A and B are shown apart, each in its own frame.
Chain A
Amino acid sequence: MISFIARRTAALVVAVLVASFAVFMVPYVTPGDPVRKIIRSRVAGDVVDESSVQALSNSLGLQDPLPVQYFRWLTRFFTGDMGLSHISRTPVVEQVLPALAVTVSLVVLALGAAVLISLPLGISAALREGGRTDKIITTITQSFIAMPEYWLAPLLVLVFALRLALLPSAGWTGPASMVLPVTTLALRPISYFTSAARSGMIDALAADHVNAARSRGLSYRQAVLRHVVPNGLLPLTTLFAVWFAGLLGGSVIVEVIFAVPGMGRLLYDAVLNGDIPLAQGGVVVVVALAVLITTVADFVHQLLNPRLGGRLG
C-alpha cells in the first residue's frame, strides 16, 4: 500500500512538472511574441505600441531568461501561489476554481448518465449475446462513436431549442441549461461503456468460477448477480476514470457551443492569448486531478479485483 501511494505520488509530481513546463513553453515555441499576444487580447487590434510592449515585458518579468521565469513560477506554485493572470491581472486560482467546478459538474453529470444508461444496456446485450437485443443495442450504441460533438451539439440545439422550444440553446444557468451539453458529452462514453460492460460480462459469464458456483446449486440469476456482474463491470472503473480525466480539459467544443464557462474554454482562451500563468495553473490542476482520479480508479480496481485478492501491486 505504501509503495503504491509513493509511486503514484512520484508520478503525480513528474506529471505536474512535465505539464507545467510544456505549457510554459507553448507561447515561446509557437510563432509570435508572447507580450504582443497579451496586449492584443487586452486591447484588440493590430498595431501594438512598442513602449507598451517594453513596459509590460518588464512589469511581468518576461525579459528574464526562460529558466528563471519557470523556476520563479514553480517556487510560487509549491507555496500555493499560482500567480496573476497576465491578461486580467487577477489571481489565477480565482479563475481556475470556478471553471473547474463547472467542468467537473458537467463531466460528472455526463459520465453519470452514461454509466446509468450503459450498464443495463451492456448487461442486457451480454446476457443475450448474438441475439436480436444484442445486435440492436450494439448497433445503436456503436453509432454514437461516429457523432462528433461539433455536429451533434448544433443538431440537439436545432431539435430541442429551435423546433421543440423545450430547452435553452446555451448557458449554464440551471438544470434545464445543462441537459443539452450533458447529453452531447455523454453520448460517446455511452458507446464505449456499453461495449466494455458487454465484453466484461461475456468474459465473466464464461469464467470457471461461475460454472462452479452454479454447480454448487446457485440459480442462473443468483450466479449472475453475485459473480458475473461485479467481475464483468470491473473494467468500467478504469474506463470511467480515463474518460473523466480526458474530459476535464477536453470538453472545449461543448463548452464553446453551449457557452459553458468551464475549464476547456478557459484553457483554450488562455493558450490563445498567451496567458502563461493562467494556462499553467489550469493545466497543472487538470493534470493533477486526472492523475489523482486514475490513481483512485486503479486503487479501487485492484481492491475489487478478486484475481488480485485486493493486493496493491
Chain B
Amino acid sequence: MRFPVPSMVATGAAAVLALSACGFTPENNSSAQPVDTNQRIVVDNFRAPVAGWELETDSAYILSLAGCLETLTKYDQAQGKIVPSLATEWKQVSPLEWDFTLRDDVKFQDGTALTPEAVTASLQHVLKAQVPARAFNPKMVSEIKALDAHTVRVTTPTESSLIPYRLASVNTGILAPAAYAKDTINPFGHCTGPFKPVSEVTKQSLTLDRNEDYWGGPVKLAGAEIRFITNGATRAAQVQTGEADVALSVPVSSLATLETAPGVGILKADSPRTATLYMNNGRAPFNNLNFRKAIRTALDLDSLAASVYEGGALPSTGPFAPSEPWAPAGVASPRQNLEEAKSLLASAGYTADRPLEILAIAERPEFADVATVIQENLKNIGIPVSIQTKESAAVDPLLLAGNYDMALSQRNRLIDIADPIGFLTADYTCDGTYNLSHFCDPEYDKTIAKAAQTNDQEERYRLYAEAGRILDAQAVNAWLVNQQAIDAVRTGVQSYVQDPLSRYALTAETAKSGSGS
C-alpha cells in the first residue's frame, strides 16, 4: 500500500490554511505603480526536474516557463494559433517537407549565433532520445537538415499539417551546441530566451538573470528564481506571505483563502483537462446508446462542480472546454433530468441484475468524492453502483483490456502539441492506442483522418468540432467538469500572462513594480 502522503498533507494544509483568510496584514501593491527594472521575481512551480535538463522530458517545461528555452514557433493562447518565435516563417514546400526560416539576429546566451546547423543538432538530440518526446519523435519526423544559411528543413514520413505545432512544443526547445558537449544537457548559458540560468540548487530552485542581449528587446526584470514546490498548499502559502510573486497551479482547496488574501490576485483559465466518467462502450449495458444517455442525463454536474470542486471547475459541455477554438458552438452543459433518464433507461431494457462498478484513480483524491456523487445520482434512477479506488498503474490495464464498467479519469487534450489531434486519435478512433471507451465509429474515424491531412487551421478546427459532436451524440462518455488552471499572482507583478499548460510564465515583458511584491 502506498503511503498516502499527498492526501494527508493536503488535508492538513487545507484545513489550517483555510483559517488564515482573515487577519493577514494587507500590502499596498498596485499594478499602476511604475516598473522597477531592478526587481527580481520568485515563481513557485509545481514540478521539479526529474531527469536533469533533458529536453525530451518535462524538465523542458521548467526551462521554458523560466524564460530560458525558446522554440522555433510558439502557441499564442490569446490568438489561438501558432506564431513566430526563433523562426520568422515556415512553409510546406512539398507534402513531406517543411522549411523554417530562422530569425537572423539571435545569439545564444554564450554568444554563439543561432544557425541552421545549431538548430538541426539540437532537434536531432531530441529525436535520438531513448524515450522520445510525444510531440517530436522519429515516428513523426524522419529528417532534419540545414538547407541554407537561414533555413532548416523538416521531413516527415507521412504528410503532416501539424509540424509547426510540433515545433512549438517545449520539448523542441533550441540550445547551443555547447549544451550537448557532455553526457548530460547543460542549459546554463546555452538558451536564447530573455533570462539566463546562473545557478541551481538541486531539487529546490533555479536562479536566472536578465539576458542583456536578448533578441526580443529589453527585459524588464533583473532576474528570477523558479522554486520547485511540489506541495500545492505550500505554493499557496508562499504567495500569501509574499515569499513568492507567482504560484503556479494552486489547489482548489486553497482558492477561497487566496481569493480573500490582500495583495494576491487569482487568474483562472480553462485547462485542457476534463474530468470524465469513461463508459465501456464495448460491453453491456454500456453498448446501448440509450443506456449511456440515461447515465449522462442522471448526473447533476452543477452540484458536482460546486461541491467537490469548490468552484475550481465548471460543468462540462462535452469533450472540449467551451473556450477552445475547436469546441462546437452553442453547446450547453447537460442538465440533470431524472424522469428523462428513467425513460431512457426503460427504453434501453436495463435491469439492475448486478451493481455497476466505478473505478476511481487514487492519484486524484477528489475522484473518490466525485464517484460518491455519481453513485447517488445513479441510485436515483435505479442503477446500483459500487466504487473501487485504485492506482492508475493498476487501472490502466483493466481499461485498455475492456475489463470495467465505468472509470473516472482525466486526460490532457493538448499534452503533445497545442492541437487536439493526438488526443482525438488515440482516445476515440477504432485503432486508437488509448481508446479506453472502446468506441468505434467509421464516420468519426473518417473525420479525424481528414482533419489530420488538413492544413487550413479553420477547416481543421471545424472538423474537430464535427468529431466532438459525434462523440457527444453517441454519448461515448459522460464529460463531467472542465478543470480550471489557477495561478495566484501578487499585485505588484505586471504583464504576467497565464498559460493553462504552464509552458510560458516569464517573458521580456514580465515586470514588477518598485514597491516590492
Contact = CB atoms under 8 A, between A and B. Distances in A.
Given A47-B426, A88-B50, A56 B228 contact: no
A139 B393 CA distance: 46
Interface in B171-220: 184, 201-204
B9 A151 contact: no
Interface stretch (B12-20, B107-115, B474-482): B12-20
B172 to A, nearest CB: 13
A286 to B, nearest CB: 15
Interface size class of B (residues with CB under 8 A): 35 or more
B159 interface: no
A26 to B, nearest CB: 10
A165 B203 CA distance: 25
A273 B13 contact: no
Contacts of A64: none
Most chain B beta-carbon contacts within 10 A, residue among A59, A154, A161: A154
Interface in A129-170: 148, 150-151, 153-155, 157-158, 161-163, 165, 168-170
B58 A44 contact: yes
Interface in A75-107: 87-90, 98-99
Nearest to B242: A165
A154 B238 contact: no
A31 interface: yes
B231 A161 contact: no
Contact of A45 (B8, B50, B130, B412): B412
B8 A253 contact: yes
Contacts of A158: 16-17, 19-20, 237
A151 B243 contact: no
Contact of B393 (A30, A59, A153, A170): A30
Nearest to A164: B25
Most chain A beta-carbon contacts within 10 A, residue among B56, B131, B409: B131
A42 B434 contact: no
A39 interface: yes
A8 to B, nearest CB: 29
Interface in B368-413: 390-394, 396-397, 409, 411-412
A53 to B, nearest CB: 9
Nearest to B257: A162
A98 B17 CA distance: 31
A166 to B, nearest CB: 10
B497 interface: no
A246 to B, nearest CB: 14
Contacts of A41: 50
Contacts of A170: 229, 231, 234, 237-238, 243
Interface in B118-137: 130-134, 137
Contacts of A44: 58, 415
B151 to A, nearest CB: 29
A39 B131 contact: yes
B20 A169 contact: no
Contacts of B396: 32, 36, 46
B230 A259 contact: yes
Nearest to B49: A88
Nearest to B11: A150
A123 B231 CA distance: 40
Contact of B241 (A56, A161, A272): A161
Contacts of A87: 50-51
B23 A163 contact: yes
Given A30-B393, A158-B19, A259-B228, A46 B434 contact: yes
Interface size class of A (residues with CB under 8 A): 35 or more
A44 B20 CA distance: 33
Contacts of B393: 30-33, 36-37
Contacts of B23: 163
Contacts of B420: none
A151 B412 contact: no
A285 interface: no
Nearest to A254: B9
B16 A31 contact: no
A36 B391 CA distance: 13
A275 B188 CA distance: 27
A206 interface: no
Contacts of A172: 204
B130 A268 contact: no
A215 interface: no
B328 to A, nearest CB: 24
Contacts of B50: 41-42, 87-88, 269, 273
Nearest to A264: B5
A30 B2 CA distance: 9
Contacts of A88: 50-52
A269 B229 CA distance: 14
Contacts of A169: 234, 237-238, 241, 243
A171 interface: yes
Contacts of A47: 134, 422, 426, 433-434
A236 interface: no
Interface of A: 30-33, 36-37, 39, 41-47, 49, 52, 55-56, 59, 87-90, 98-99, 148, 150-151, 153-155, 157-158, 161-163, 165, 168-173, 252-253, 256-259, 261, 265, 268-269, 271-273
List the 3 closest pairs (A to B, CB-CB), nearest first. Answer: A32-B393, A31-B394, A150-B12
18 contacts: A39-B131, A47-B134, A49-B132, A49-B137, A56-B131, A59-B130, A87-B50, A89-B52, A148-B12, A150-B9, A153-B13, A154-B16, A158-B17, A170-B238, A170-B243, A253-B9, A261-B203, A265-B203
Given A32-B391, A42-B57, A173-B201, 20 more contacts: A32-B396, A32-B397, A42-B58, A46-B434, A47-B422, A47-B434, A52-B130, A59-B130, A89-B52, A150-B8, A151-B16, A162-B20, A162-B24, A163-B20, A169-B234, A169-B238, A170-B243, A256-B9, A257-B231, A265-B203
